[in-house]
Amino acid sequence: MKQNKIGITGSIASGKSVLTAYLLGLGFPVIDADAIARDLVHPGSDTLKEIADIFGEDMILSDGNLDRDKLGKRVFSDEDARNRLNDIMHPAIVSAMLDLSENFHGLVFYDVPLLFEQIDDIKESGLEFDAIWLVDADEDVQLARLMARDGIDEAYAKEKIASQMPLEEKKKLATVVFDNSGDLMNLYNQVDDALEALPGENM
């Protein structure tokens, strides 16, 4: 059976993980780019060593794990540093996603936080999506979620949101847009409708 690849993405703190958790609960395979990224930088890994060589040994905690907060702050305001990190991580992540995808057939979902920002690199690596689902939320809801999730103040949260591709641009590129500003049942109903609209052989 042909594999139907659907990419899932969303702006920061839009609630994308809630949608993917729902899909997993329905029994659909979800390949998680963030989970792959975490695995790539496990203590002692070649990827972690490369990050330390470029950004400094202080990026590694005393227990051997990556100091994600420190690295995140380093690359957040430095585009060159961010690009260098992406050059390390993105090809390895896409390669791992392609390897994992060989275990599935039919409908497969790919959870990729910065899908639109990385779409050219993803395509060049050989991964093409048949559709892209975007999770959206009102800005005030998104801001409140981000502040609560990361324990940061409003100013820094707004900077994080502003650093990503504008939501309106993402909406133009998405196949389906889900509004996750309300309760969970509302989101689940939207997902159910989108699933029902897919070709029958994918269900």
Residue ranges at the known binding site for ATP: 13-18
| CA within 13 Å, CB half, 15 | 24
Query: Angle between the 79-101 and 33-40 helix axes, to the nearest 10 degrees?
Result: 110
CA-closest candidate to residue 113, choices 42, 5, 19, 196:
19
Q: Residue ranges for the binding site? A: 13-18
Count the Cβ atoms, other than its own, within 10 Å of residue 8. 27
